[in-house]
Structure 1
Amino acid sequence: MPHTYKDKTADVVATVNGRWVSWAHTALAYSAFVGALVVGLQLHYHKIVQNEFYGYPQEWFPSVSATIGDRYPERSVFMLFIALTSGPRLALVSLWYVLTRRPNSALPKFVAGVGLFRTLTCGGWTYITSTDDHDWHDIFMISYLVATIPWTFGCIALSPDNPDALKYRKCISGAFYAMIVPLVYFFIQHKVHRVAGAYTTYAFFEWSLVLLDVAFDAVTVFEFKNFEIVIRDTGAISRGLGQQTVSDAALEKGENRELVAVLSPRFSWAALFDAVADVYNGFVFWSILTSLGVCVWYFPLWHMGISGYEVLVMSSISPFLLGIKPLRHLVVRNIRICHLLSLSGLLAYLITNPANRLFAVGFGVSMSCLSWTATFYAERSQPERLEARISAFSLGLLASSIAKFAFYTNNPVWPIMHGPNGGWNKLGLGLAVLAVLRCTRPTVYSGTDILVPGRTKGSSVLTSFGLGGLFFAMHSLLSDSSTMILWVWEGYPVRGPIAVPHGAWTLLAMGFGLSMGLFNPTLARSWVCYGVGTLGAAILTTSKHWKGYYGALTLAIYTMSIAPVFLGHASRHAPARTFGLGFLIYNILVLSHVWVVAYAFVPGGPLMREHTDWVMTAMMLCIGAGVFSAAVQPTTPSLKENQNPRSTKQPRVYYLYTLGILELLAISIAFLRFPSYNHTPYHPETHSLTAGIWTIHFSLDNDMWSSEYRVRDLIRELEVDVIGLLESDLQRIIMGNRDTTQFLAEDLGMYVDFGPGPNKHTWGSALLSKFPIVNSTHHLLPSPAGELAPAIEATIDAYGTLVDVFVFHSGQEEDPEDRRLQSLYLAERMKLTPRPAILLSYLVTKPNEGNYNTYVGEQSGMRDIDPSDWDRWCEYILYKGLKRTGYARVSRSTITDTELQMGKFIVDQPEGTDDIVPEDQVPEDLRFPALFQGEGVRGHQYHVFDAPRYFA
C-alpha cells in the first residue's frame, strides 16, 4: 500500500519487524517447556513418571505438571525461559491491540485485557507451585484456562481478513478444544478408576494443549510482518483503513448474521448489565420456586403423614388471577412492585417459625409466578423484549443449577439456609432488589389488552399442557446437575458419570439446548426433535451407566430448546388459561412425582406405586401437546429479518454473553471440586475402623434448617471412618433435588456410594467410607405391601483386608410380612459372604424378639455389637470376622429424630468376647473421643449408658 506520509527512514537508527515478536514468544515459550522436559527425562526420569498409583514401566511419560514442578534444575529451566517469554508476550498482546483497535469498538480492549490477564495468571501458576500453595496454584491455573476461551474466540473475531491466518487460528483452536475431551476422560480413568497407563496417555494430551496454546499465538506472525518496531505501521491496517475483520466481512456478505453478531466488536456494558440483572431475576424465580417443595416437605416429614400444609404447593397457580381484567391491568402496570413483593421468598430466612416461614415462601412463589406471567404477557407485542425475558427465565434455571453445583446441591439463598449453615441470604437478597430495579422497565401497555403481531393459532389448552410438562421437566430433572446422574448410578466400580465433574456436562447441555431454541426455533418445535427428546427420556428411565446418561443429556438439550418456543407461543394466548392451567398441570405432575415413592402415606398412593415411568410418559405427552399447538403457529418475524446485527442494543447478544459466563463458571466449579481420592482413616496406626449408622431425616433439622454442616461436625468430631446414612435420598422436587452426601464426602474426605437411585422409589441409603470402596451392589428388598427397603452391599479395602459393609433400611412397623421377607433376604446375603462384615441398619425390631433372631445368629452368621443393650428398636450394628472393641450411642440434639450409633473394630483380629472392660484398660487410640463425655457439646453426648462400652 502506498505510504501517505513523508518517508523518514534516514532518522531511524534501527528497526525490528513485528514478526520477530511472534517468533521470540514462540521460541522462548517452547524452550521453557521442552527444555524442562529434556532435563527432567535426563536427570529424574523415574521420579517424574511416578504418580500416586503407578510408576515405571506402567507409566512411562511425564505430565506437564510433573515436568515443570519442584525438582531442580528442570523447574529453574522452566522458570527462566517463562520469565524471558513475558517480554515478548506483553509486546504480542500490545501489538495485537494496536492492530485491531477501531473507533467506538470495545471488543479489542476486552481481548487485550484478557491477554494481559492470561499473562499474569501464567506467572501465578508458574511461580506458585502446588507444593508452595495448592489452592492458589489451582486458582491461577483454572483462571488461565478459562481466559483462554475468550482469548481464542476474540482473536478469531478480530482477525484481519487474511485467509491463511484465519485458517490456522480455526484449526489450532479447534484442535485445542477437541483435546480437552480425551484429556478429561483419561484423567478420570487415572484418578477415579486407577487404570495403569492412563496417566501417560493423559500426559500426551496435556502436552498437546501446551503446544497448541503457544502455536495459536504464533499465527500473529502473518499480521505482525506489516509492523516495524519503533513503531511504524507500514500496512496502515491499525487504523482500520485497509482491512476488514472477519465479522465485518461476514456481515457485509450476509452470512451467519446472528452468530457473527455475538462476536461483533460493538459492545455496550449497559446492555450487558441489563441482561445480567434480568438473568439474576430469573435466578431468583427458580430459587424461590425450588425452595417451596423442601419447605412443604418439613411438615409431612415430622407428622409422618398428610399435615395440611401441602396445599401450599398450589401457590404457583396464581396466574389464574390474571383472568380478572382489572387485576390483570393493575399487575402489568405495577410489574416492578409485584417482583419486589415476590422477594418475600428470599426474606423468609429471617423467620424462625417453620410454619410462618413456609407461608412467606408460598406468598413469594405466588407473586413470582404472577409477575413472570404478567411480564411475558406485557412484552408479547415486542418480539425482541419478549425473547429477552424468555432467555432470562431459562438462564435463571441454569444459574440456579450452577449455584447448587457450587454449593453442594444447596442453593445459598434458600430459606432453609442461613449464616451458620453456609447461606448467602443477605447478599442474594440485596442483589435481587438491585436486579428488579434495573430490569423492570416500563412496557408499552396502555391499559387495554395488548395485541400481538401476526395471527395466533393453536389451542391454549394444549399450550397449557406443554407448559406444565416443560416446567416439570425443568424443575424435576434440570434444577440440579446431579439428579439425572444419580438416576443412572449403580455403584462401584465406577461405570458411568459422577456428580463431579460430570455435572458440568449437564449444565453445558442445558446451555446448548437453549441456544438451539433461540437460533433455530423451527427445528426445536419439530416432531423430529420431539421424537429425539422422547427417546432420550426413555433411555434415561430404562438404562443405567453411560448409556442412561447420554439419554439424560439428550433430554436436557431438548427440554431447554423448547423453552423459548413454548413460552413465546404461550404469551400469545390469554395468560390465565395458559400459565394458570400450565402451573396447575405442573403441580399435578409434581404430586405424582412424589406419590410414586410416598405411596404408603398418601390417599390413593398404591395406584402410583413405583411408576416413575408413568410420570415420565405423562411429562412427554404434555410436552407433545405443546408441540402440537406450537407447530401450527407461523414464525414470528425474527432478529434475522428485523434487526441490524451491528446494533449495540441487541438483547440476544448479551444474553448469550451471559450464557457464556455461566458455562465458564460451571467448568471452573467442576475443576475446583474435582475429588482428590487421597482419603485416610483417623487411626491407621491401630488398624481400627469406627463404623456408624445414622438416620439423617432428609437433612432437615427440627427447626427447618438444612443440617449438612451439623451432621459433618458430629461425624468429624467422633472420628467415624465408615458410616451408613438412611433417609438420605433428596433428589425429588419435594426435597429440593439435593444430595447431602456430596458435601459430606468432599468436606470429610470420604468415598461415597449413593443408592439405590432416585428412580428406584426408596427413601434412600448411602455409604461414606475413609477406605476405598472396591465394589458395591444396590438392593431393593422384598416389599409386597409397604414401602421399598433399600440396601447397599459394599466391599471396602480396610488396611489391605476386604471387608463387606451392609447399609440397610427395613420396612415400617405397619407391614410385618415385608419386614419378615426382608430379614430373610438380608440374612442370606450376609451368610453368603466369606469376608468380615458389618451391618449398619434400621431394623424396626426389639432385641431377642421376632426378626432379630433372623438377623443375628446362625441364619446370618452375624453377631450383635452389644447383646445386652435392650433399649433399641430401629438402629442396630451387627458384625462378623472382626474384633469389636467399643460401642457408643450419641444423642442427636435437634439435627434429626434418631441418634447416631457407633462401633469400633480392629481389622485382622479374632472376634473376641462380650466381656465389658473399663475404659482405662483400653489404649487411647481405641477410645471414643472424650469430647462427648458428660454434657457433651452442642446437645450431643454419650447417652443410654452415659459413656461408651468397651469389650475384651
Structure 2
Amino acid sequence: MFPLWKAVLSESLLGYISWSLYHALPPMIYYFPLQTLALTGLEVFAVAFFSPVFLITGPFWRLANNKYILALLRLTMVGGDKRKEEASKRGDAVREAVPHHHWLLSGIAFGSLMFLTLWIFGEVSLISRWAVSGHPHTGPDPNPYGGAVLLGLAHGLMLSFWSWSSVTRFAWFLVGLASSAGLLYLHTWSAAVAGNILAVFTMCVWPQLAGHFVSCLHPGKAMSTAMFAYVLELFFCVWCTAYKFVPGGIYARESSHLLLGFIMLCIGVDFLTGPKKDLSSVSEVKSKQTPLFKKCKNYIKLLLWLFVGVGLLGLGLRYKTYQKKLGQGVPKRDFSAMIWPFRFAYDNEGWSNLEGSANLLNQTDADFITIIESDASKPFIGNNDPTMWLGERLGFYTDFGPSTRDHTWGIMALSRYPIVKSTHHLLPSPEGEIAPAISMTVNFTGKLVDFVVAHFGNEEEDLDRKLQAIAVSNLLETSSKQVVFLGYITSAPGSRDYTELIENGNVQDIDSTDHDRWCSYIMYRGVIRLGYARISHAGLSDSEVQMAKFRIPDHLDSYVDNDRIVTDPSQVPEDIHFNPRFGSYKDGHNYEHIHHFHMSTPKYFKHRN
C-alpha cells in the first residue's frame, strides 16, 4: 500500500513542478520584450520547453548518467531505484500490449491539449475574464464562480473512465467544439457555461490523448513534436495581441479564433481516429506486473477530490472575507481618483508587484482607481488575475474590461463605492494595438458621478490616436454633467488629441499649467477640483501615479470651481491633504527608490478672492 501512495504523491509533486514551470517560463521570457516593445532575442530561451527531449540525445544522456548527476537526482527522487528497475521491466510488456499511435499526430494533439489547458484553464478566473461584460450584467465573478471551473475539470476526468463508442465519441467532440465556439462568441453567463462545458471536455480527453502519446513507438519524436506544437501555439497567442510589435504580426492580428479552431481540430482528429485505448490501457498492462496498481485509479480520484475540496474551501473563505470588506465607504462630498499604468503586476526587475501595489494603493487613500495594462489573463503574462486579487485585498468593487478575448492590454477599475453601471469599449484602432476604454457610473452614497477611463494606442499610430480621441471625446460629451476622465493618451499637453478631449469632450484639465506630462491625464467636468499629485513609481512600475481630489457640489447649476493654485498645504483644510507618507512638495523628478511626491506636486486649489 505504501509504495502506491508514494508513487501517487511523487507523480503529483512532479506534475505540480512541471505545470509551475509551464506557467512561469513564458512571462519570464516575455518580460524583456515588454520593456522594449520589440523582440529582444531572449525569446530563444523558449528552447527550455524542449528540455525533456534533450535527455534522449547522446551528450545529454551521458551527462544524465554521470555518477555525480545521478547522485544529485537520487536525492531529489521520492521513489527509489527499485521503481526504476520495475518500470524498465514493464516497458517491453507495455509496448507489446498497447496499440501504437503515429508519433506526429499524437505529438501535435498532445502539445495542443497542453496549451489549451494552460491557455483557458490555467487559473480559475480565466473563463470569467473571457466572458466578462459591463455592470450590472457582468457575467460570473471569478470568485466564487471560479469554483465551477474546478468542478468542471474534475468531472471531466471522472467522465474519462466511462466506455465510449465511436458514435458517442463523435457526439462528445461536437459538444466540445460547440463549447469552444460559445466561449469565443457568446457573452456573460452563456459564454461562461460554454467555457465550463469545454473544461469537462478538455479533462475528459486527457487520459486518451495521453495514452496515445505514451504508447508511441518513437517517444523522442512524439515529445519533440508536442513541445514544438506547444511553443508554436504559445507564440501565435502572443502574436494575436502583440501583433504591432512583432514581425508578421499583421497576419495574426486578433486571430485567437484560428488558434482555438486549430487546437480543437488537432485534439478531435486524435480523439476520433486513434485506437480505442487510453491511459488506463497502459495501467491495465502494468497491473499484470504490479497488482497494487489496480487500486491506483481510486487513489488518484481520492487525491483529486481532496485537491478540489481544498480549492473550493479556499475560494469560499476568500469570498466571505471579501464580502465583509465591501460597502464600508463613509458618506462624503469629497473623493479622490487616481490612474496608474503598472505593466501587468510586474516591477522593473521582473518580479510580481502585487503585494507592493496593494500597499501603495492603500496608502494613497484613493476612492476610485484605474490601472492601465492590467489584463494578465494570458499565458505569456502569467495567467493571473490582479483585478480579483487587489479587489479582495483592498475591499473595493471592481470592473475589468474589455474581455480578454478582445485582445487588448486591459483596464482595471477599483472603487470604494458601488459601481452602478459600466460599458466596455473597443476604440477605433485601424493600424495599431486595440485600445480599450470603460465608461461607468459610481454611487458616492447617493451622489452619482461618471468616470471615463481609456488607454490610447502608441505614439507612432497617428490615425489611431486621432480616431480614439474623437471616440473618447464623444463618450465624455454624452456622459452626465459630472464626469472625471482618467486616461493614458500618449500625447503632449496642447496637442491635437489633448485639445480634442478638452474642447469637444467639454472637460477641463486638472492642472493646465503642468506641461511636463506625456501619457497620464486627469480631466473633469461638474465637480470642484481640490488637489493634484504625482507620485514616483520607485521601481514598482515604469510609470508614476497621478491623483486628484474633487468635491461634489451641492448645487450643480450654481457652484464655482477653484481657480487658484497653492503648494503650501497649510492654506487648505487638513482633510483634503494628500497622505504625508509620500513626503512634501518637490520640484522635478524623484530618482530615489521610494514613493515620493515629485514634478512640482502636490498642488492644492482654492477659490480666488
TM-score normalized with structure 2 length: 0.90
More strand by share: 2
Does residue 294 in structure 1 map to residue 27 in structure 2?
Answer: yes
Q: Which residue of 1 aligns with 2:538?
A: 893
Tell me, in whole angstroms, the C-alpha distance in 2 between the residues paired with 1:539 and 1:338. Answer: 51
Q: Which residue of 1 aligns with 2:265?
A: 621
Larger Rg: 1
Q: Which residue of 2 aligns with 1:533?
A: 176
Tell me, in whole angstroms, the C-alpha distance in 1 between the residues paired with 2:519 and 2:121. Answer: 35
Question: What per-residue deviation string (whole Å, max 9, x for no partner) do you get for residues 554-585 of structure 1?
Answer: 11111111111111111111111111101101
- What amino acid sits opposite 1:915 in the alignment? R
Tell me, in whole angstroms, the C-alpha distance in 2 between the residues paired with 1:891 and 1:740. Answer: 21
Question: What per-residue deviation string (whole Å, max 9, x for no partner) do you get for residues 290-327 of structure 1?
Answer: 10011011100112210111111232123443554796
Does residue 854 in structure 1 map to residue 509 in structure 2?
Answer: no
Does residue 925 in structure 1 map to residue 575 in structure 2?
Answer: yes
Does residue 316 in structure 1 map to residue 49 in structure 2?
Answer: yes
1:808 to 1:524, Cα distance in 2 relative to 1, 3 A: farther
Q: Which residue of 1 aligns with 2:553?
A: 908
Q: Which residue of 1 aligns with 2:297?
A: 652
The offset of 1:908, in angstroms, is: 3.1
1:520 to 1:312, Cα distance in 2 relative to 1, 3 A: farther
Question: What per-residue deviation string (whole Å, max 9, x for no partner) do you get for residues 900-948 of structure 1?
Answer: 0000011234351321144213221111011111499961111011433
Say whether the 8 Å CA contact 1:323–1:576 is kept in structure 2. Answer: yes
Q: Which residue of 1 aligns with 2:326?
A: 679
Classify the secondary structure of the residue corresponding to 1:928: coil
Tell me, in whole angstroms, the C-alpha distance in 2 between the residues paired with 1:822 and 1:486. Answer: 24
In the alignment, which of 116, 123, 127 is matched to residue 484 of structure 1? 127
Question: What per-residue deviation string (whole Å, max 9, x for no partner) do you get for residues 418-472 of structure 1?
Answer: xxxxxxxxxxxxxx94757799754432699776132534422111121121011
Question: What per-residue deviation string (whole Å, max 9, x for no partner) do you get for residues 576-607 of structure 1?
Answer: 11111011011111111111110000000000
The offset of 1:625, in angstroms, is: 2.8
The offset of 1:494, in angstroms, is: 3.6
- What amino acid sits opposite 1:924 in the alignment? E
TM-score normalized with structure 1 length: 0.59
The offset of 1:274, in angstroms, is: 3.7
Say whether the 8 Å CA contact 1:699–1:740 is kept in structure 2. Answer: yes
Question: What per-residue deviation string (whole Å, max 9, x for no partner) do you get for residues 4-60 of structure 1?
Answer: xxxxxxxxxxxxxxxxxxxxxxxxxxxxxxxxxxxxxxxxxxxxxxxxxxxxxxxxx
Say whether the 8 Å CA contact 2:485–2:524 is kept in structure 1. Answer: yes
Tell me, in whole angstroms, the C-alpha distance in 1 between the residues paired with 2:38 and 2:71. Answer: 34
Alignment of 1:377-416 (within 5 A): none
Alignment of 1:797-836 (within 5 A): 797-836=443-482
Question: What per-residue deviation string (whole Å, max 9, x for no partner) do you get for residues 229-271 of structure 1?
Answer: xxxxxxxxxxxxxxxxxxxxxxxxxxxxxxxxxxxxxxx4664
1:678 to 1:742, Cα distance in 2 relative to 1, 3 A: same
Classify the secondary structure of the residue corresponding to 2:116: helix
Q: Which residue of 2 aligns with 1:591?
A: 235
1:466 to 1:673, Cα distance in 2 relative to 1, 3 A: same
Does residue 947 in structure 1 map to residue 590 in structure 2?
Answer: no
1:524 to 1:592, Cα distance in 2 relative to 1, 3 A: farther
In the alignment, which of 330, 335, 344 is matched to residue 698 of structure 1? 344
Tell me, in whole angstroms, the C-alpha distance in 2 between the residues paired with 1:586 and 1:668. Answer: 33
Tell me, in whole angstroms, the C-alpha distance in 2 between the residues paired with 1:745 and 1:292. Answer: 27
Tell me, in whole angstroms, the C-alpha distance in 2 between the residues paired with 1:807 and 1:905. Answer: 17
Can you give the 5+ residue segments of structure 1 that lack an aligned partner in the other structure? 1-267, 342-431
The offset of 1:640, in angstroms, is: 11
Classify the secondary structure of the residue corresponding to 1:745: helix
Q: Which residue of 2 aligns with 1:668?
A: 313
Tell me, in whole angstroms, the C-alpha distance in 1 between the residues paired with 2:207 and 2:516. Answer: 59
Alignment of 1:110-259 (within 5 A): none
Say whether the 8 Å CA contact 2:578–2:602 is kept in structure 1. Answer: no
Classify the secondary structure of the residue corresponding to 1:650: helix
Does residue 508 in structure 1 map to residue 148 in structure 2?
Answer: no
Q: Which residue of 1 aligns with 2:405?
A: 759
1:641 to 1:434, Cα distance in 2 relative to 1, 3 A: closer
Identity of aligned residues (%): 30
Classify the secondary structure of the residue corresponding to 2:123: coil
Question: What per-residue deviation string (whole Å, max 9, x for no partner) do you get for residues 510-547 of structure 1?
Answer: 11111222444668992222111111101101111111
Does residue 557 in structure 1 map to residue 200 in structure 2?
Answer: yes
Can you give the 5+ residue segments of structure 2 that lack an aligned partner in the other structure? none
Tell me, in whole angstroms, the C-alpha distance in 2 between the residues paired with 1:530 and 1:900. Answer: 49
The offset of 1:718, in angstroms, is: 1.1
1:524 to 1:596, Cα distance in 2 relative to 1, 3 A: farther
Say whether the 8 Å CA contact 1:806–1:838 is kept in structure 2. Answer: yes
The offset of 1:852, in angstroms, is: 0.7
Alignment of 1:666-745 (within 5 A): 666-674=311-319, 675-676=322-323, 678-680=325-327, 684=330, 686-745=332-391
Does residue 779 in structure 1 map to residue 425 in structure 2?
Answer: yes
Tell me, in whole angstroms, the C-alpha distance in 1 between the residues paired with 2:86 and 2:293. Answer: 20
Does residue 281 in structure 1 map to residue 17 in structure 2?
Answer: no
Does residue 845 in structure 1 map to residue 494 in structure 2?
Answer: no
Tell me, in whole angstroms, the C-alpha distance in 1 between the residues paired with 2:73 and 2:166. Answer: 37
1:321 to 1:750, Cα distance in 2 relative to 1, 3 A: same
1:816 to 1:526, Cα distance in 2 relative to 1, 3 A: same
- What amino acid sits opposite 2:266 in the alignment? C
In the alignment, which of 250, 268, 280 is matched to residue 606 of structure 1? 250
Count, aligned residues: 593
The offset of 1:876, in angstroms, is: 0.1
The offset of 1:333, in angstroms, is: 11
Tell me, in whole angstroms, the C-alpha distance in 1 between the residues paired with 2:81 and 2:297. Answer: 18
Tell me, in whole angstroms, the C-alpha distance in 2 between the residues paired with 1:624 and 1:704. Answer: 38
Tell me, in whole angstroms, the C-alpha distance in 2 between the residues paired with 1:439 and 1:879. Answer: 73
Question: What per-residue deviation string (whole Å, max 9, x for no partner) do you get for residues 463-498 of structure 1?
Answer: 112112101111111111111110001021144211
559-568 or 691-700, which moves further after superposition? 559-568
Does residue 567 in structure 1 map to residue 210 in structure 2?
Answer: yes
Question: What per-residue deviation string (whole Å, max 9, x for no partner) do you get for residues 361-385 of structure 1?
Answer: xxxxxxxxxxxxxxxxxxxxxxxxx
CA RMSD for the aligned pairs? 3.1
1:946 to 1:883, Cα distance in 2 relative to 1, 3 A: closer
